[in-house]
Copies of this chain bind each other. A is one copy, B any other.
Amino acid sequence: MKITAIHETVVPISSDIRNAFIDFSRMTVSVVAVVTDVKRGGKRVIGYGFNSNGRYAQSGLLRERFIPRLMGVDSRTLLNDAGDNLDPHRIWACMMANEKPGGHGERSVAVGVIDMAVWDAVAKIERKPLYRLLAERYRGGSADDQVFVYAAGGYYYPGKDLSALQDEMKKYLDLGYTVVKMKIGGASLADDLKRIEAVIKTAGSGKHVAVDANGRFDLRTAVEYARALRPYGLFWYEEPGDPLDFALQAELARHYDGAMATGENLFSMQDARNLIRHGGMRAERDWLQFDCALSYGLVEYLRTLEMLKQHAWSPRRCIPHGGHQMSLNIAAGLGLGGNESYPDVFQPFGGFADNMPVENSHVRMPDAPGIGFEAKANLYAVMRNLAAG
């Protein structure tokens, strides 16, 4: 068997939302199709992948380096020992040949997109949902049958007032979510507190509300917010400072005894390890949001989980950024704490299988082989076009 082609394209996911750091008016996503010569159910197996929101499509790197490397080697070197399926670890090593260490950004997205497609193909070839395959390979077989999800929204956008914000959150609650997340740091502290109080009123209490500063604050502002947020007993206080300012994070922990969350902008095991080593994160209380689709894929995420284990962190403390089905499979298969969900934005990439309602902030897994893209009609429509082209 072999990979016969890898297609890639760019899809806009622009919107007029804004967080404290960027607007999303020109946001794009790469979508790839890894086409194999294996047939299942009479059709050739095609694995699909894409990157999460927040970083951009990676056409250049995919075309200049990563796709040519995979298509340029003896295809047998990309297979497992039995020669009957792709080997994601060997494929990863091939993509990263002659890449220097350090500098983990952009290429981590390009590799992550292909890695996602490879795992989709691998599970399809084994005729299993990916989460079951992962549970079998790495967790002695036991998979979670449902995954905690929270609704991420509450962005800033032009003309949005408090009642519009409350309406948005009310909709998430009506959809079955019990925890909602909103942006902070794009307004004054006083205005943000009004927004937070409005959302708490809708959600019932602070423990149902998470807030996200998207790395905007310096230490002084982060501490100012921490003091103001503390009485609310929030679900978490996310990414207060620059994602690489581990000293800020560690110092902030001395001023905030509620849960904190960060990690969506750390794109390698090494960067994640530095957060654990130097960031003062508390293993019994805080949350880690590393997103494989931006971070060299699941092959690297397995290294990150192993690193966490060595530092006595449970995988249950991981709730990845990104709201995509890949992390949902990892969560169910490897026993993470949950997954982000964007009920409203980043369509068709956000969200999970159709006809899988969220109940009590948990979502069940579809039975489809692979990651489950075929069970999400609007997303599969984009992907199917790519493979045809």
List residues of chain B with CB within 8 A of the CB of A278: 246, 274, 277-278
Among residues of B, the one whose C-beta sits closest to the C-beta of A54 is: B100
Asked if A55 is at the interface of the complex by the 8 Å CB criterion, the answer is yes
Question: How long is the Cα–Cα vector from A21 to B244 in the complex, in angstroms?
Answer: 25
Given A59-B64, A63-B60: A266 in contact with B102 (beta carbons within 8 A): yes
Give the residues in chain B near A25, CB-CB below 8 Å. Answer: 98
- Chain B: minimal CB distance from A26 (Å): 7
Task: Give min CB distance, A29 to chain B, whole Å.
Answer: 13
A98 to B24: give the CA distance in the assembly, Å.
Answer: 8
- Tell me the bound Cα distance from A57 to B60 in angstroms: 10
A101 to chain B, nearest CB (A): 4
Within 8 Å of chain B (Cβ to Cβ): is A9? no
Chain B contacts of A103 at CB under 8 A? 55, 104-106, 108, 265, 267, 294
C-alpha spacing A326/B107, complex, angstroms: 25
A59: which B residues are within 8 A, CB to CB?
A: 60, 64
Kindly state the separation between the CA atoms of A245 and B104 in the bound complex, as whole angstroms.
13
Interface string of A91-114 (1 = CB under 8 A from B): 000000111111111111000000
Which residues of chain B have C-beta atoms less than 8 A from A61's C-beta?
60-61, 106
Measured CB to CB, the nearest residue on chain B to A23 is: B98
In whole angstroms, how far apart are the Cα atoms of A382 and B104 in the complex? 30
Q: Are B64 and A102 in contact (CB under 8 A)?
A: no
- Using Cβ atoms and an 8 Å threshold, which residues of chain B touch A55? 100, 103
Interface of A, secondary structure class, is loop
Q: Does A361 have its Cβ within 8 Å of any Cβ on chain B? A: no
Per the bound structure, the CA–CA distance linking A360 and B305 in Å amounts to 52
Q: Give the nearest-CB partner of A61 in chain B.
A: B60
What's the nearest-Cβ distance from chain B to residue A322, in Å?
Answer: 13
CB distance from A218 to the nearest CB of B (A): 12
Contacting pair A244 B270 (CB below 8 A): yes
Q: Is A243 an interface residue (CB 8 A)?
A: yes
Q: Smallest distance from the beta carbon of A34 to chain B beta carbons, Å?
A: 20
CA distance A163 to B229 in the complex (A): 68
Instruction: Give complex CA distance A184, B65 in Å.
Output: 27
CB–CB B101/A215 < 8 A: yes
- Kindly state the separation between the CA atoms of A314 and B180 in the bound complex, as whole angstroms: 48
> Quick one: given A247-B277, A270-B242, are A265 and B101 in contact (CB under 8 Å)?
yes
A115 at interface, CB cutoff 8 A: no
Q: CA A277 – CA B97 in complex, angstroms?
A: 31
Residues of B near A377 (CB, < 8 A) are none
Which chain A residues (243-261) contact chain B, with CB distance < 8 Å? 243-247
Which residues on the B side are within 8 Å of A294 (C-beta)? 103
Q: In the complex, what distance in Å separates the CA atom of A337 from the CA atom of B244? A: 27
Q: Write the chain B residue with the least CB distance to A65.
A: B56
Minimum CB–CB distance for A352 against chain B, Å: 24
Q: Interface digits, A54-74 against B, CB 8 Å rule (1 contact, 0 not)?
A: 111111110111000000000
The 4 A-B pairs with the shortest beta carbon distances in the complex, nearest first, are A60-B60, A103-B105, A102-B265, A106-B106
Residues of A with Cβ closer than 8 Å to B? 21-26, 54-61, 63-65, 97-108, 214-215, 242-247, 265-268, 270-271, 273-274, 277-278, 294
Interface contacts beyond A102-B243, A103-B265: sample of 18 additional A-B pairs, CB < 8 Å, sorted by A? A25-B98, A26-B98, A55-B100, A57-B64, A59-B64, A60-B60, A60-B63, A60-B64, A61-B61, A61-B106, A101-B215, A103-B106, A103-B108, A105-B105, A106-B106, A244-B270, A244-B274, A277-B278
